[in-house]
Structure 1
Amino acid sequence: MPPAPSNRPDPDENPVPSVTPVRDRGDACPGALRLHTADDGALARVRVPAGVLSAAQAYALADAAERLGDGALDITSRGNVQLRGLEPGCGGELARLLDAAGLLPAPRHERVRNVVASPLSGLDGRGHLDVQPLVRDLDALLCASARAPELSGRFLFALDDGRGDMAEFAADVMLLAEPGGAAVRVTVGGAAVRVRAEDGPRAMLLAANAFLDAAAASGTRAWRVRELPAAHAVSAADLRARVAAAGLAAVATASPPCPDRAPGRESRPLVGAGHGAVYVAAPLGRLRAAQWRLVAGVAERYGTGELRVTPWRGVVVPGAGPERLGALEAAGLVTDPASPWLGVGACTGRPGCAKSLADVRADATDLLPAGAGGLPVHWSGCERRCGHPRGARVDVVATGDAHYQVSTPGAPPRTVPLTELAGALAAARTTTPTKTPTK
């Protein structure tokens, strides 16, 4: 079993709001240049579109973590990379290191480069289209856009190659490849348009601009598409008109619909090897700099020189073979599909977060075997549930005084002391969840 990582992940996303919020300020989401102060030091979040890094960029991140931070890197639920424990006043030096590595192509836009994409696209032959070139086009368009910096640091773009693995992220703007790969469907909220694959990134930017106009008209200054009041939702007619005005041809197709839901874990790069790639996971999403360098070294010496960080807090190394798994496992990375680490996530908890009521990462590690193989579980240090992923899972929320609240979808929560948590957790994870209405 890998050693327990120390308390450190990220508050990437919060649950869907129950009412339409009215934003009276810009979001405070951290970035590479806008650092967030936590109990364990400053925090920087480096946006990595589709999680794609060169080996050289990965080495640069490891250097930054050791020179300026606590010597580790966190993978967020959007496949970005986070550094914690940064010393006061290090922002300028961090920016210089990231810029030299090509990780800050447009400083004004760095917080809006939130892009996830099918990590195995172009590798395993399962998708309709390799979306990686489209990711690069979208990123270039974002970085060149005068309006893109108006987007919230929480606004999310997703590109799905047709396998359905991006559906679970409920992105604000989604590109989904159609069968055959010649056309893609671009959606924003309930509005959708089909365009040629090569026009997909431009259509995505047009959809984001439509959201910005809708948010301004609504008076809510919404951060996410789902926050727009129904009366101000982006309409299909508006999206089609914008596409036409930009000179993009809408595609008429009689092809069957693409999947709207992820078909299951088999579509995700969890851990193992195959199709010309190796994929590993990091326990609770945290890698020490030495582990990170090892993965980068595998990419540099045995792969294509590229690695892809996944939203499931793992790393894909294209071009590497299964013979590399032994060294990665020996370094504490997860390579076994049956590992209990694959079903466990946690927020930062104590001592990194002042609001946390418990050291949830230590407790999650201690109770790792409880219910292993059952429903996924997410541990939260307080009721804010930072970093909580979507989908059916068991919620374990600290309530103080060594007690936790345990709940499953469709069932009432139960508060139990830490001494009884193992049994309660095992029972909850092996219970068939009851479906709850989608918000």
Structure 2
Amino acid sequence: MSAPVVQGWCPGAHRPMMSGDGLVVRVRPRLARLSAAQTLGLCDLALRFGNGTIDLTNRANLQLRGVAEDDHQPLLAELSALNLLDAEPGIETRRNILVSPLYQPGDLTARLTQALIDRLGDLPALPAKFGFAVDTGAARLLAGDSADIRLERGASGLILRADGAETGRLVTEDEAIDRVIDLAMWFAERFTSDTRRMARLIATQALPEEWQGHAPGPTAPALQPGNSEIGPIYGAAFGQLPAAELRGLVGASGAAALRVTPWRLFLLEGGA
């Protein structure tokens, strides 16, 4: 297996991070969503290979902790069987995408996120924690969460905004991902060891006017535990999900899927 990564690295599935009780293996759900079968399978893996708890991260990812080094490769095989793993480690690292959790299947957020996933191989080399946000609902939910390039809805339509800039560039859906790649290229040609995030870079270098001029729309109130149009929202104390209890909850609710958020909350899509 690959050598465990030292503290400070953003762990992934292929490149775990060592902690006091074993490896931390991060799973990045596509479109912030795991089907019910994937959720139940991940719970089983947490009980079999980890410490029995699944962590929610502030990047809307999931982490298994306490994984023994000898169990890393068998765990990867099981994650791959659940379709929770990118075959190429480089693509997994780039799939650092926050998604507004209240999207509907096939809507603009879902379409843009999938289009970005399909084009990850076209991105330049970027710092490990460089990320994207797709937040194109009527009101923004991810404005306070970490992302370097944002797709949002503005008064005039869809905008692409560099994090740290007050305004963004008006784009069409068809050209949006091309422009995301262009902005990533602009960043990749200029960042330094001291400016590895977009907001830090544009604080030191002027962002070209072509990337500005259109204000984003309003922000939405923070989600709270309760009901939503997607399904019930639950809070996770300390961002921790006991795998056995989560397995029982998903099964009892009849949910079709679990959606994760950056806020220690999760949604049971279609659940009672």
Deviating 4+ runs (over 6 angstroms): none
Hey, what does 2:47 align to over in structure 1?
Answer: 66
Is it true that 1:118 corresponds to 2:100 in the alignment?
Answer: yes
Cα 1:146/1:120, change in 2 over 3 Å = closer
Give the alignment's Cα RMSD to 1 decimal.
2.6
- The answer for unaligned runs of 5 or more in structure 2 is 1-7
Cα distance change, pair 281–232 in 1 and its aligned pair in 2 (3 A)? same
Q: 2:39 and 2:174 mapped to 1: Cα distance?
A: 29
AA aligned to 1:292 is: L
The CA deviation at 1:286 is 0.6
Kindly indicate whether structure 1 or structure 2 has the higher relative contact order, using CA contacts under 8 Å at least 6 residues apart.
2
Is it true that 1:88 corresponds to 2:88 in the alignment?
no
- Aligned residues of 1:64 and 1:94 also touching (Cα < 8 A): yes
- Conserved? CA contact 1:73–1:84, under 8 Å: yes
In 2, the alpha carbon distance for the partners of 1:41 and 1:214 equals: 37
Amino acid at match of 2:234: V
Per the normalisation by structure 1, the TM-score is: 0.54
Q: Does 1:75 align with 2:56?
A: yes
Q: Secondary structure at the match of 2:47?
A: helix
Give the match for residue 200 of structure 2. Answer: 227
Aligned residue identity for 2:128: G
Distance 1:115 1:71, change over 3 A: same
What SS class does the counterpart of residue 84 from structure 2 fall into? coil
Which of 259, 266, 277 is 2:217 aligned to?
A: 259
Cα offset for 1:223? 2.7
Counterpart residue type for residue 62 of structure 1: C
Within a 5 Å distance, the mapping from 1:336-347 to structure 2 comes to: none
Instruction: Please give the alpha-carbon distance, in whole angstroms, between the structure 1 residues aligned to 2:64 and 2:266.
Output: 17
Larger radius of gyration: 1
Aligned pair partner of 1:307 in 245, 258, 263? 258
The runs of 5 or more residues in structure 1 that have no matched partner are 1-26, 124-128, 241-251, 325-439
Structure 2 match to 1:208: 184
SS in 1 for 2:51: coil
By how many angstroms is 1:57 displaced? 1.9
- C-alpha separation in 2, matches of 1:168 and 1:198: 27
Percent identity over paired residues: 29
**Secondary structure, counterpart of 1:317 in structure 2:** strand
Q: Is the 8 A contact 2:54 2:65 kept in 1?
A: yes
One-letter amino acid of the structure 2 residue matched with residue 225 of structure 1: M
Aligned length: 260
Q: Secondary structure at the match of 1:42?
A: strand
* Mapped partners of 1:271, 1:198: distance in 2: 35
- CA distance in 2 between counterparts of 1:113 and 1:158 reads 11
Residue 273 of structure 1 aligns to a residue whose secondary structure is: coil
Q: C-alpha distance in 1, partners of 2:248/2:179?
A: 38
The reply to whether residue 100 of structure 1 matches residue 117 of structure 2 is: no
